[in-house]
Amino acid sequence: MSDLQERARALDAADELAPLRELFTLDDTVYLDGNSLGALPRHVPARLQEVLTREWGELRIRSWGESGWWTAPERIGDRIAPIVGAAAGQIVVGDSTSVNVFKAVVAATRLAPEGRDEILVDADTFPTDGYIAGSAARMTGHRIVPVAPAEVPGALGPRTAAVLLNHVDYRSGRLHDLPALTAAVHAAGAVSVWDLCHSAGALPVDLDRHGVDLAVGCTYKYLNGGPGSPAYLYVAARHQPVFDSPLPGWTSHADPFAMTPGYEAADGAVRGRVGTPDILSMLALESSLDVWDGVGIEAVRAKSLALTDFFLECVAEYVPEGRVSSATPAAHAERGSQVALRCEDAEPVMGALIARGVVGDLRRPDVLRFGFTPLYVGFADAERAARLLADVLAG
């Protein structure tokens, strides 16, 4: 056994989060793609079976009231709130990330002072954010201004209405400075919108403490909600009385069952709802969040940094010099919970890794992506992944 293998063993033995791995359905595969799709918590299938057979099969429509289906979007939002540093009553669950980005960007332009006609967007944003923001701009008469997050303070001005940024870059894993950038946006009189897809559940976000206006995020990555599980929308309490959604659906009406032709928005985060909740996936998400009971996000962050540090050390030790280079910042303050390695032949390399039992993913043309989910990934996983990567590259 090598020194790194021995260290991995010792680190796993001392890891306070290690017992959480038993809560998930995992095998001998090293699963480093939880930043795309989280693993299945073991207890979720039984919960879904209950929903299918009793709540839907027996109670049928009565379950909207008796089983709590109707209030699920807000109830589950309150389960997510502590993970992203938000007080209750500010998060509603439902729809996709793309739909919630649209709601948030358009609502942000309506919250901004009159006469502002620019929306700043992360120049390297995940594509759907850019597509949606562009469409929102065309519909509202605004102009899109692509800008690197680090350059946002210098790009802000009296014409800036809203700023849409990713907390963690999906390609490189770079963590952007949410507190400082949010403060800069506010100083310019604009409205902040943050995409938390690659940070929520992996590191502290502290939405309330940093005064974020609006935020969106998915639940199928670090929150382990399942494929296509519904996203969420955060609306800071101070904005809720005037939050004006561009999709005023019937379930966000103050009296949805009155079925009146005129729209009157409900109070609170409920204004972020649109149509009928997607109950099956929503209740699977609710059940999956049980794995977070008693888990502190600071402990998760500490393990994430330790895991990614150790993986990078193993890569440096095992991988032939010059075959890969890290696109992920070395500084902890600038790193999310993934490691992105640039590799000339990334696609066949990742294919060979998967065949050997190490599942990551890639971003064309040359990025190998390894996501570290602290609830179930261990140090032995990190060491094995780096060792097998070296074997593949040595070829």
Residue numbers annotated as active site = 126, 195, 220-221, 369
Q: Is the backbone of residue 161 left (phi > 0), alpha (psi -120 to 50) or beta?
A: alpha
Which among 90, 18, 85 has a CA at the least distance from the CA of 297? 85
Instruction: Provide the sign of the torsion angle of the four alpha carbons 39, 43, 46, 49, taken in this order.
Output: negative
Cβ distance 73 to 252 under 8 Å?
no
Q: Which residues pair with 160 in a beta bridge?
A: 118
Which among 186, 126, 133 has a CA at the least distance from the CA of 156? 186
- Can you tell me the distance from the alpha carbon of 389 to that of 52, in angstroms, rounded to the nearest whole number? 42
Neighbour order of strands in the sheet with 338-342: 325-326, 338-342, 367-371, 361-363
Q: How many CA atoms lie within 13 A of 340 on its CB side?
A: 21
- Can you tell me the distance from the alpha carbon of 164 to that of 281, in angstroms, rounded to the nearest whole number? 27
